Amino acid sequence: MDVERQQQQQQPLPGTLSWRLSSHPITLLTFLTFRISSVLVYFFGLWVTASMIMIFIITILLLAADFYYLKNIAGRRLVGLRWWNEVDPQTGESKWVFESSEPGTKVVNATDSRFFWLSLYVQPLLWILLAVLAIVRLQFLWLPLVIIALVLTIMNTLAFSRCDKFSQASNLAGSALGTTNLAGSIATNLAGRWFSRN
């Protein structure tokens, strides 16, 4: 009886930030690796090596891999969301398509969802801090790289927020960040301005 009680106390609760509770641990770990590695390569590359070109190339490749993996694999497997852009061949107009899985067809793991939304909202904030750091240190040559990173990360954040129709995303991000409606209202306002309904 005591052994069972100890095992129950040692097991993390559903929704806890532990990759062991993930329904797709390989997808989650790959997703987190891409999200973290571009920031780390950029940040530590500034201190370790003097080769700006090498840091620029590696960071761009990691950002591109993160963008692709998040948009095409992680979003679909972890939270059942995806988005893409279609161009009408006759008119040439660009159309954004946002898709979420039907309720009841996919059960979203609370841990996967929490990791997904938290990392989705935190990474652009880290790049904003790195932009401020580059400006304060008068390293203006690094700003194009930081701007590229911001465009890619904010695009995915806004698109996935639009896919989720701001309900699940704002609730999870708000609870993870300790605020209830701040994340949702920011996502709603930004996405409403960037994406118009088609």
Q: Where are the domains of the chain?
A: 23-101+110-177
**Residues 56-69: pLDDT tens digits?**
999 999 999 999 99
Under DSSP, the state recorded for 41 is H
Using an 8 Å Cβ cutoff, are 117 and 169 in contact? Answer: yes
Q: What are phi and psi of 196, to 5 degrees?
A: -105, 150
Measured in residues, the chain has a length of 198
What does the block give as tokens for 117?
A: 């939304």
Q: Which amino acid is at 32?
A: L
Contacts 24+ apart (CB under 8 A), 174-178: 176/114, 176/117, 176/118, 177/118, 177/121
- Classify 101 as helix, strand or coil: coil
Distance CA 76, CA 82 (A): 6
Q: Which two tokens stand for residue 114?
A: 């929490």
Q: What does the longest C-alpha to C-alpha distance in the chain come to?
A: 70
Would you say 166 and 191 are in contact if contact means Cβ atoms under 8 Å apart? yes
Q: Which tokens go with 131? A: 């932009």
Q: How far apart are CA 160 and CA 106, in angstroms?
A: 17
Does residue 107 sit in helix, strand or coil?
coil
Q: For the whole model, what pTM was predicted?
A: 0.71
Give, to the nearest 10 degrees, the angle between helix 25-48 and helix 110-136. Answer: 10
Q: How far apart are CA 176 and CA 119, in angstroms?
A: 10
For 4, residues 6+ apart whose C-beta sits below 8 A from its C-beta are: none
Q: What is the pLDDT along the chain (198 residues), one digit of tens a residue?
A: 555 555 555 555 555 566 567 778 898 899 999 999 999 999 888 777 778 889 999 999 999 999 999 999 998 888 888 888 888 888 888 888 887 776 666 777 788 888 899 999 999 999 999 999 889 988 888 899 999 999 999 999 988 888 876 445 444 444 444 433 444 444 444 445 445 444
